[in-house]
Structure 1
């Protein structure tokens, strides 16, 4: 078996354990009349930014926490917080603050019983290995398996949203950057 085969098998194992009903619960919270905010640190944050871009492509008003043009988060908004361990201080602290302010939370973590997982109005458990040792173990370094699987999981969520909202590939392409 090649390393490629091993990595694909690991991702497939994790994805087979992601619960479709958890993605559906998150889908219910994301609507076009709400602003969507995205939060994550490190590589998990990069996966979250990719999700933000896809949401923009399918017509959502979306902001990434920490960017200079991000407005204040308000009651009625949705915050998508990504942390493999569910304990990342910067992610957890801001998610707690948003929750206290009446923001709906979508938590994405490898551990649904983690502090972040418990904050979610919808929680998506992606049980890939993290640097803290949570989740399905991996031959890959640190949280690579979690990050790969989060990318796929959030792309599935975007696909569900685009189908629900009747957004075609051509419509999404029209919002893609033309400054390349």
Structure 2
């Protein structure tokens, strides 16, 4: 296969995963962000890279957003929201973060392949990316020709960009408004 054929295959896989996310779940995810005083973002590995981009876009919107584990991240409390990206929903450090968030009275949103995971059971909303991963095999999963969990990681990133667009609509914002908060010390 050539690069264009691979590109078409990846786009088709992404179309399937994104179309399988129920609108009601996406709407609830957006509502939790709109209701939160602060949004804390956590993920490990490539999911960690994706969630950092989401925290940045939230900041561009004027949302008080933080990446868990960074030195300037404050404590989570009631009124906060923890957004976790975890394919398995079982990564120990992320389970600990979710448990602490619930203990403090905060809400939890999870993007995962595994709704029945430990974090899934704690979460106020679960966004299921319906694909298999090396750690979670499912009967009805969308099959990917990409290596490892690439389809999950791409889908979660694009889903979070879609959430930003939904938030922009709900707040009457556009890209120009957001660019006003773009970093100027690069």
Q: TM-score range by the shorter chain?
A: over 0.9
Candidates 142, 148, 153, aligned match of 2:154: 148
Q: Which residue of 1 aligns with 2:40?
A: 37
CA distance in 2, matches of 1:96, 1:107: 13
Q: Secondary structure at the match of 1:175?
A: coil
Query: Does the alignment pair 1:58 with 2:22?
Result: no
TM-score scaled by length of structure 2: 0.91
CA distance in 2, matches of 1:28, 1:7: 30
The aligned runs of 1:81-160 (5 Å cut-off) are 81-134=84-137, 135-160=141-166
TM-score scaled by length of structure 1: 0.94
Q: Secondary structure at the match of 2:75?
A: coil
Instruction: Structure 1 unaligned segments of length 5 or more: list them.
Output: none
CA distance in 1, matches of 2:136, 2:99: 24
Runs of 4+, deviation exceeding 3 Å: none
CA distance in 2, matches of 1:42, 1:33: 26
- Change in CA separation of 1:33 and 1:41 when aligned onto 2, cut-off 3 Å: closer
1:33-55 superposed Cα distances (whole Å, 9 cap, x missing partner): 61110011010111111110110
Number of residues paired by the alignment? 180
- Change in CA separation of 1:33 and 1:5 when aligned onto 2, cut-off 3 Å: closer
Q: Secondary structure at the match of 1:162?
A: helix
